Amino acid sequence: MSEKILEVKNLKTSFYTHLGEVQAVRGISFSLNKGEVMGIVGESGSGKSVTSLSIMKLLQYPGEIKSGDIFFKGEDIVNKKNKEMLNIRGNEIAMIFQDPMTSLNPVYTIGDQIMEVIIRHQGLSKKKAKEKAIDMLRLVGIPSPEERVSNYPYEFSGGMRQRAMAAIALSCEPDLLIADEPTTALDVTIQDQILKLMKDLKEKLDTSIILITHDLGVVADICTKIVVMYGGLVMEEGTSKDIFYNPKHPYTMGLLKSIPRLDLGEKKRLIPITGTPPDLIKPPKGCPFTARCPYAMKICSLHAPKYTKIDENHKAMCWLLHKQSPNMKMDTGVKRGIVNE
Amino acid sequence: MNKDKDAIIKVRNLKKYFPVKKGFLKRKVQYVKAVDDISFDIKKGETFGLVGESGCGKTTTGRTIIRLYDVTDGDVIFDGTNISNMKEKDLSSFRKRVQMIFQDPFASLNSRMTVGDIVGEPLDIHKLASGKERQERIYYLLKTVGLSKEHASRYPHEFSGGQRQRIGIARALAVDPDFIICDEPISALDVSIQAQVVNMLEDLQKELGLTYLFIAHDLSMVRHISDRIAVMYLGKIVEVAKSEELYKNPTHPYTKALLSAIPIPDPDVTHKRESVTLEGEVPSPINPPKGCTFRTRCKYAFETCKNKEPSMKNLGGDHTVACHLLDNKK
């Protein structure tokens, strides 16, 4: 078995607002092996970004980790002090944020921002750090990096800024890269370039990646493992083939049904998931998806279901998978494209 | 031409340039050619999709057609009337028939107005209803978009993104328009909510006989909703075709690249397919490349592309493409 790089156990994160406690993440567990690419899928408010911020320990007041453990390379980082985290963040765990327009500092040059990480973590001299910064820009595919290194962020386009973000994140060769919706703000053509870049970098540097997105198309391409989140909980977890070809949770099925398929040449009416996500100040007692689930039963609103193991890597949280549940005919939403061998 | 008879809107050689001003005297030194000589027809009752990368001029096209921007050159003929040079005070009857749904539901609703007043404002402006009648109309509109009349007295901040977009749609429907410009109406919404809004737009079109101009960068959704699609690049239309035709038989290298960049939610398919990655980014519309504007990123570009701008050629069946490669093939 390969080495576990990250293990999250029963993580709960809440925000204590004046309206009450927002339970953004309500007890999630997953693990990531070295060199693996994991996708976290879910809609806004499902807790996927809060999960990543918890792992980075970048939660800001009023948010805090309520309970649970996060093991990074076997070490529990939940109780690490901020000083210790400074040596891990950017060095061993790095992050690419969603919005390349606001996550770079506008008053420093791109080069300065890459050099900052290198000098802080690798203790190189300024001159050496600059050389490395140029190398990094070249690695992420920025043309004429020698000149570009002294540009300010406003002189870069959206796609180039996201590349610069990747250069910062990868400059210390982290063991784990967390990419929080890295392509959401970008055009499809630039998205394609960034995803290719991430794939290349993974092969070159053997980095483990957590890719957070709401786009199932993006995870299908590069993830080996997918976690589907909803209402602060993991609804289903499995390999990408499990999730796309054998979904077991009605929410996963709903997601698959609500996206149009370009390659299948059919034009059917979309089947949306009705309703809206639950309010996490007062999360529902049972399964959070009950109110929107077409197959909901009485028990669903009363008790939260436990995980049912479908096989080694595949598990889902749904009462329908219980031994005593009625055998329902479900439209899984699976559409398989034709693959020419 | 017989085809023109049922066209609700005809756009001919439309241009929209924005001046770049410099210096103390604010002299106009250059122009951003946001929309540069485009022509198309939209037929009554159809959905016409407009796609392209950001900065290609698709939003400007929408806003110029509805006269939120003044036309630099060219004609926009709506139902037989040329509105491109009409004075603002004469436009009001046109504005009653053409409405717009905006991209960002968080920025396009006035946060100090109740939902009822937001939806009722077009009725006040065009003096269509007042008093009890106005109230009834607002309730009816809210019901049409799947909200209830209790929502009328609430403020926008009490609603989610999907619900806000519904309010925006109700406002657009208030004046009973014929033609609606949807400017990326779903790109700010969650996947599960997108399908709700798209289905609603389709239902409304059937019920009310609406014509849509659907602007988006999400090609899979555009193909789902549109009858015909135009692909824009750097202010120009490079390909127009029926949506099935465009996806089955994309002809312009840019269309091909755009299509292959879309991630497909199917692991086996996406691993097997060959993708054409488009290198680089869109050049500046201030100084667009001479000849074919796409040649700087096109891997098939040859000598002619540098010198001559390609013209639109009809491949039959409403499929038109602007590319020099077509001349080479025999």
Within chain A, which residue ranges are assigned CATH 3.40.50.300?
Answer: 4-223
Rg (CA), chain A: 21
Spatial CA neighbour of A321 closest among A292, A291, A300, A294? A300
**pLDDT tens digit sequence for B84-101:** 888 888 888 899 999 999
Q: Catalogue the E-assigned strands of A34-150.
A: 37-41, 63-72, 75-76, 93-96
- On chain B, the residues whose CB falls within 8 A of the CB of A262 are 219-220, 223, 247, 259, 262, 264
Which residue range is the domain that position B210 belongs to?
3-328
DSSP class per residue in A164-216 = HHHHHHHTT--SEEEEESTTTTS-HHHHHHHHHHHHHHHHHH--EEEEEES-H
Distances (CA, A) of B52 to A25, A32, B275: 37, 37, 18
**How large is the average pLDDT for residues B66-89?**
91
Residue B143: band (very low, low, confident or very high) from pLDDT cuts 50, 70, 90: very high
- On chain A, the residues whose CB falls within 8 A of the CB of B279 are 193
Residue B330 has a pLDDT of 43
How far A258 CA sits from the closest chain B CA (Å)?
A: 6
**pLDDT tens digit sequence for B100-112:** 999 888 889 999 9
Residue B4: band (very low, low, confident or very high) from pLDDT cuts 50, 70, 90: very low
How far A245 CA sits from the closest chain B CA (Å)?
A: 8
Residue B1 has a pLDDT of 41
> Which of A37, A184, A186, A187 is the mutation pick for testing B, counting most B CBs within 10 A?
A187
Domain count, chain B: 1
How far B280 CA sits from the closest chain A CA (Å)?
A: 8
Please, are residues B318 and B310 in contact by the beta-carbon 8 Å criterion? no
- On chain A, the residues whose CB falls within 8 A of the CB of B202 are 269
Helix/strand/coil (H/E/C) assignment for every residue in B49-99: EEECCCCCCHHHHHHHHCCCCCCCEEEEEECCEECCCCCHHHCHHHHHHEE
- Selecting from B54, B192, B224 the residue whose C-beta is nearest the C-beta of A260 gives B224
pLDDT at B130 over 70: yes
Residue A315 has a pLDDT of 94
Residues of chain A with pLDDT under 50: 341
Helix/strand/coil (H/E/C) assignment for every residue in B90-122: HCHHHHHHEEEECCCCCCCCCCCCCHHHHHHHH
Give the H or E element holding residue B20.
Answer: strand B7-22
Residue A106 has a pLDDT of 92
Distances (CA, A) of A101 to A48, A49, A98, B62, B291: 21, 18, 9, 25, 32
- What's the longest Cα–Cα distance across chain B? 68
Please, are residues A200 and A162 in contact by the beta-carbon 8 Å criterion? no
Taking the alpha carbons of B28, B72, B187, B137 in that order, is the dihedral positive or negative?
positive
How far B91 CA sits from the closest chain A CA (Å)?
A: 35
Check A263 against B244: CB less than 8 A apart: no
- On chain A, the residues whose CB falls within 8 A of the CB of B265 are 216-217, 220, 244, 256, 259, 261
Rg (CA), chain B: 21
Please, are residues B256 and B276 in contact by the beta-carbon 8 Å criterion? yes
Please, are residues B215 and B58 in contact by the beta-carbon 8 Å criterion? yes
- ipTM for the assembly: 0.79
CATH class for the region spanning A4-223: alpha beta
**pLDDT tens digit sequence for A115-153:** 999 999 999 999 999 999 999 898 888 888 998 999 999
> Which of B106, B191, B200, B254 is the mutation pick for testing A, counting most A CBs within 10 A?
B191
Check A270 against B193: CB less than 8 A apart: no
Residue B203 has a pLDDT of 93
SS3 label, residue A17: strand
Residue A242 has a pLDDT of 92
B105/A177 Cα distance (integer angstroms): 32
Residue A265 has a pLDDT of 65
- On chain A, the residues whose CB falls within 8 A of the CB of B233 are none
The domain spanning residue B58 has which CATH number? 3.40.50.300
- Selecting from A241, A258, A269 the residue whose C-beta is nearest the C-beta of B191 gives A258
Check B223 against A191: CB less than 8 A apart: no
How far A82 CA sits from the closest chain B CA (Å)?
A: 34
- On chain A, the residues whose CB falls within 8 A of the CB of B218 are 188
Give the H or E element holding residue B304.
Answer: helix B303-307
How far A120 CA sits from the closest chain B CA (Å)?
A: 32
- On chain B, the residues whose CB falls within 8 A of the CB of A159 are 281
Residue A340 has a pLDDT of 54
**pLDDT tens digit sequence for B236-291:** 999 999 998 998 899 999 999 888 888 888 888 888 777 777 877 778 888 888 88
